[in-house]
Amino acid sequence: MTPRKASLDPATPVLALLLVAGAGLLFSFLDTGAKYLVLSGMAAPFVSWMRFAVHVVLVLVLLRGWSNAATFRPVSLPRQVLRGVFLFGSTLFNFLALNTLQLAETTSIAFFAPMVITALAGPLLGEWAGWRRWAAVLAGFAGVLVITRPGLGLFGIGHAYALAATFSYCFYVIMTRHMAGTETAETLIFYSALAPVVLMLPVLPYTASAPPDLFHLAVLLSLGVFGAFGHWLLIKAYRMASATSLAPYAYLQMLWMIGLGYLFFDQFPDGWTLGGAAIIVAGGLYIVHREHRLRLRSRTAPNTENGELAKKL
């Protein structure tokens, strides 16, 4: 009876899948609000700063920072600051890209991040990929070329910003993986937002602008709420299931972005964007599949060196 019952249990809790889908929806609201504000004339650096300022306040309130100061003490403050700079760069470049690109375009290029991380993890973390995953990386790059079409004169500043956001985010993720073993979750969440808030204070007077009405103010303040609670939902989801099992469902964000882009901006991606996005998503899913197999094989073959095993995958 026990084996039969175990075989019928779902591999991934439904609640975890719903949390990932909800996080993607909140991040889509975040980008939609940012695009609306940037198109209305507000400076992207100020919009980005406000997103993180509200995030800092929410983290302090929700985690009761005044009564748990020890949990916010970092092991390496310089690394925390650098990691925060990468996250801020990702957000800033993304908001700049949204000034000229559709929501679906920026999201499609952002989905290239797992492939870039796979390529950079070798020299930076010693996690070398095999030829199959490198083939997926090249396929993802081909998908980016399909979307941007640089040889046809369609590559613009928005595409450059979107690629800069993707690479900045990749370095943020790599630093997170490197620091996760020594830093607490509270410090990783808190300093990634606090660092850009403090560092951007000198230039804030030159970029800040008052929202023209209460609606714009509400949208501006909501960005930090969407970002903070989106990350909170992801943390809850990853406590219930493995990152590998949840990764495919993160691509649901593409559907949210297409729908919100059409609803609020009357924009729908063309066939090139949809085709390029499909290639990128396929490459990302394949990398998730290969890394899952790597972990399974490393568990069943404890005497095999991870580096040699990775080369076969």
Q: Is it the case that residue 35 has pLDDT exceeding 50?
A: yes
Q: At what angle do helices 44-62 and 77-97 cross, to 10 degrees?
A: 130
pLDDT band at 305 (very low <50, low <70, confident <90, very high): very low
Counting beta carbons within 10 angstroms of the beta carbon of residue 207, is it exposed (0 to 12), middle (13 to 18) or buried (19 or more)? Answer: middle
CB atoms < 10 A from the CB of 219, how many?
Answer: 19
Provide the token pair at 301. Answer: 């073959």
Structural domain tally of the chain? 1
In a domain? residue 223 = no
In-domain check, residue 150: yes
Provide the residue range defining the domain that includes 274: 101-155+270-313
Residue 107 domain-assigned (yes or no): yes
Q: What does pTM read for this prediction?
A: 0.82
In a domain, 143, yes or no: yes
Chain centroid to Cα 87, Å, comes to: 9
Instruction: Give residue-wise pLDDT tens across range 199-255.
Output: 999 989 999 988 999 999 999 999 999 988 888 888 788 778 766 677 777 888 888
Q: 152: how many CB neighbours lie within 10 A of its CB? A: 8
Question: What is the pLDDT, as a whole number, of residue 309?
Answer: 34
pLDDT for res 196: 92
Neighbour-count burial for 173-204, b at 16+ CB within 10 Å, e otherwise: bbbeeebeeebeebbbbbbbbbbbbeebeeee
Summarised one tens digit per residue, pLDDT across range 120-168 is 877 776 767 777 778 888 888 888 888 887 655 577 899 999 999 999 9
pLDDT at 106: 92
In a domain, 228, yes or no: no
Q: Could you tell me if residue 190 is inside a domain?
A: no
DSSP state for residue 242 in the 8-state scheme = -
pLDDT at 3: 43
Residue 120 CA to residue 128 CA, distance in Å, equals 9
pLDDT reading at 113 higher than 80: yes
Tokens of 81: 């600051």
Task: At 272, list the tokens.
Answer: 């090139």
Give the closest residue to 218 by CA, choosing from 29, 23, 5, 80: 29
Residue 10 above 90 pLDDT? no
φ, ψ of residue 227 to 5 degrees: the values are: -65, -45
Residue 297 falls inside a structural domain? yes
Give the relative orientation of helices 214-240 and 185-199 as an angle to the nearest 10 degrees.
Answer: 150
- Main-chain phi, psi angles of 266, to 5 degrees: 55, 40
Q: Is 89 a domain residue?
A: no
Q: What average pLDDT does the structure give for the chain?
A: 83
Question: Phi and psi dihedrals of 270, rounded to 5?
Answer: -80, 180
